Structure 1
Amino acid sequence: MAINNPYEKYQNNTVTTSTPGELTLMLYNGCLKFIQQGKKALEEGNIEAKNVAIQKAQAIVTELMLTLDTSYPVSENMLVLYEFVNSRLIDGNIKNDPALFDEAAGIITEFRDTWKQVIQLNRTKQYANVSEI
């Protein structure tokens, strides 16, 4: 199936050429985007759109949980936080409570910002090693 939309082509190329770290960052950003869409839909009284957006955010959190490398001790703590985020999204969706969405978004934002720093540190190390050659 050919992709005719240039934006879709760009997105597809971005995903297929990204590192695993960059893909994780994209997941965090996507999750935040869907939480914001859900909040906006709730404010507008569009319960169906809120539900769809929050379910997409939940799917991303589930993907983050499934792809977590459990060989590291910190993974257990991350898993607990992902489960908490997921529960906030579920409760917020059921109760139509934007404060619960904000709570989930706050945790995902912390993960995203930390992950950005990790990627930047790795790039700095990588380029430092290349310049030594």
Structure 2
Amino acid sequence: MAANKHYQAYQNNSVNTASGGELTLMLYNGCIKFIKQSIKDLQNESFEAKNTNIQKAQNIIHELMVTLDPEVEISQQIMPLYEYIKFQLKEGNVKNDVNLLEEALNYVIEFRDTWKQVIIQTRKTQYAQGAQV
């Protein structure tokens, strides 16, 4: 039980000290985890658990949507994709369709992988600028 408290403290500290980019990456990873679990739940006919995990994934996508800056052009391009992911999650939930959930999962994985590259490139740029000062 003590190890669980230490792990929880570590997780809280990770979130509290993370940059905005790292928090976004955590959201993508959480969404992926919940979609994958909902697929397993559906395959095991654990419909209540499937519903709960899909709702968690939808909440994460919603959070990503509300954090978009509407003044930034890329946000206007990302928003419809987030809306589509939420729609696929909803339809996959209602229709108990693994294919729809997997499609949503693939989009979230693609967003996550792209976001990882953005973080890496940003760190390289910041490191290079710091080395020049």
Category of TM-score, reference length = shorter chain: over 0.9
The separation in 1 between residues aligned to 2:13 and 2:70, in whole angstroms, is: 29
Residue 118 in 1 paired to residue 118 in 2?
yes
Deviation of 1:73 (Å):
1.0
Match for 1:7: what amino acid?
Answer: Y
Q: CA deviation at 1:23?
A: 0.2
**Stretches (4+) displaced over 6 A:** none
Partner of 1:36: 36
Unaligned stretches of 5+ residues in structure 2: none
Higher helix share: 2
Q: Which residue of 1 aligns with 2:84?
A: 84
Greater shift after overlay, 86-95 or 65-74? Answer: 65-74
The separation in 2 between residues aligned to 1:100 and 1:94, in whole angstroms, is 10
Cα deviation, residue 76, structure 1: 1.1
Which sections of structure 1, spanning at least 5 residues, go unmatched? Answer: none
SS at match of 2:72: coil
Deviation of 1:72 after TM superposition, in Å, equals: 1.0
Sequence identity percentage: 52
After superposition, the CA RMSD in angstroms is 0.8
Aligned-partner SS, 2:70: coil
- Aligned to 2:71, what secondary structure does the other structure show? coil
Q: Which amino acid aligns with 1:79?
A: M
Number of residue equivalences: 130
Aligned to 2:14: 14
